[in-house]
Amino acid sequence: MDGECRIRVLLVRGEEDLLPAYQTEGAAGMDLKASVAGEVVIPPMGRAKIPTGLAISLPPGVEAQVRPRSGLAVRHGVTCLNSPGTIDPDFRGEIHVVLANLGEEPFRIRRGDRIAQIVFSPVLRAGIDVVAALDGTGRGTGGFGHTGR
């Protein structure tokens, strides 16, 4: 897929100021914003499902991934659970972000706060072939920590 991909967006509550946006020219992800009334407080070691006010229509062969924002992680210990969260091309519901507060202080979320990133990516659908054995490699079955580093 070359160039720009067009994503159709439905503003669930008509909040155009909550549209996702790239923050820099070279950014890979658009920031998602919170569509909450008042304030949501996530206690230490707590989690909350935060609405974005957006539903999207993706082109065939494209997925959207919801990912944490690094600034929230380093400054507050806040991250996304189920990360990256995949939004399939056939999903039409409102996008929600499940945030977890791994920090030591309550974390407050207000309307319009940037809470996550969304990245759009091509997807390859695979077929499955059952075989009696797999081809060999230098790594073989070495898994977690197999290189000693």
pLDDT per residue over 28-38, tens digit each? 999 999 999 99
- The answer as to whether 108 is a domain residue is yes
- Residue 145 is predicted with a pLDDT of 76
- Residue 1 is predicted with a pLDDT of 45
- Residue 141 is predicted with a pLDDT of 83
pLDDT digits 0-9 by tens, 49-73 = 999 999 999 999 999 999 999 999 9
- Which residues, 6+ apart, have CB-to-CB distance to 81 below 8 Å? 47, 98, 99, 100
Tokens of residue 26, six digits: 């070279």
- Residue 147 is predicted with a pLDDT of 73
Which residues form the domain of 109? Answer: 8-122
Q: What CATH number is associated with residue 66?
A: 2.70.40.10
- The answer as to whether 75 is a domain residue is yes
- Residue at 101: amino acid letter: N
Whose CA is closest to 27, among 70, 89, 57? 70
Tokens of residue 41, six digits: 């407080």
Which residues of the chain, if any, have pLDDT below 70?
Answer: 1-3, 149
Number of independent structural domains in the chain: 1
What are the CB-based long-range contacts (under 8 Å, 24+) for 23-26? none
